[in-house]
Structure 1
Amino acid sequence: MNKPFIPMVLAAVLATGCATGNKQLYDWGQYEQTLFVVYHEPEYKEQALSDYLAFVQTHNGQGTLAPGLYAEAGTFLLEQGDVGGAVDFYKMEYEQWPESRPMLGILIENLEAQQ
């Protein structure tokens, strides 16, 4: 067998092994499609946001909801004027992702002071 051929076969086998079993770490739902619709197809924005909020509210725990999705839902509600709903989603993000606590703690406190 030709010696240069062996490293090529070994590289191919290793690359194939690395490519299998690619499970997603987080559940993103239809996040990308929702953002596209929100920014590029305004006539469908309300339905896309409604579907997104339903997904986040009813997430069934089959995997971890991706970081920032609760906060994004809260921001959508805040833009619609629903401060109470926004605070609820910000609190969910605060509880799920400790890394977000410094920023969200201040945001929640300021929004609750406005109510």
Structure 2
Amino acid sequence: MTVKYLRSSGLLVAALVAGCAPVNQPLYHWGDYQQTIYQYHQNGVTDYAAQVGRVEALLNQAQAQGKSVPPGLHAHLGMLYFNTGREIEAREQFAMEKSLFPESGHFVDYVLKAQPEHNQ
């Protein structure tokens, strides 16, 4: 009976300790990225400078919190940089996207091939 009681007590303690474990944190810092993407794709919205500012702010927030940004964010910023004539920075963002998320390589290569070859 004592062995059975000790096992039951041990299982109960283990369950309680496991219940107190921290909740899983999100893998990426999303911030308002989804709203930013939504606004980017609205018809007639071409304020790329404002979009750049929002995405850059999101990157800064993630860095300040020591968190990673989601896949596609660097590519999105790269496209915005191309739209505002900042080709060198655009290519840097695309390189960062490929570095962090190798599965994005085909998309990034496709976008880069579609760009004029001014600063390659």
TM-score over 0.5 for the alignment? yes
Alpha carbons of structure 1 residues 42 and 101: separation in structure 2 relative to 1, 3 Å: closer
More deviation in 29-38 or 41-50? 41-50
The equivalent residue for 2:57 is: 54
Q: Deviations over 1:19-74 (max 9, x none)?
A: x9252111112111212333279497643431212332564162221111100110
Largest Rg, 1 or 2: 2
Alpha carbons of structure 1 residues 46 and 105: separation in structure 2 relative to 1, 3 Å: closer
Q: Contact 2:28–2:70 (CA<8 Å) still a contact in 1?
A: yes
What are the equivalent positions in structure 2 for 1:1-115 lying under 5 Å apart?
21-38=23-40, 39=42, 42=45, 46-56=49-59, 59-60=62-63, 62-105=66-109, 107-108=111-112, 111=115, 113-115=117-119
Q: Considering only aligned residues, what root-mean-square deviation do their CA atoms show, in Å?
A: 3.3
When you count helix as a share of all residues, which structure comes out higher?
A: 1
Alpha carbons of structure 1 residues 50 and 109: separation in structure 2 relative to 1, 3 Å: same
1:87 Cα shift?
0.4
1:82 Cα shift?
1.8
Q: Contact 1:56–1:73 (CA<8 Å) still a contact in 2?
A: no
Alpha carbons of structure 1 residues 95 and 58: separation in structure 2 relative to 1, 3 Å: farther
More deviation in 32-41 or 66-75? 32-41
Paired residues, number: 97
TM-score of the superposition, structure 2-length normalised?
0.59
More deviation in 39-48 or 83-92? 39-48
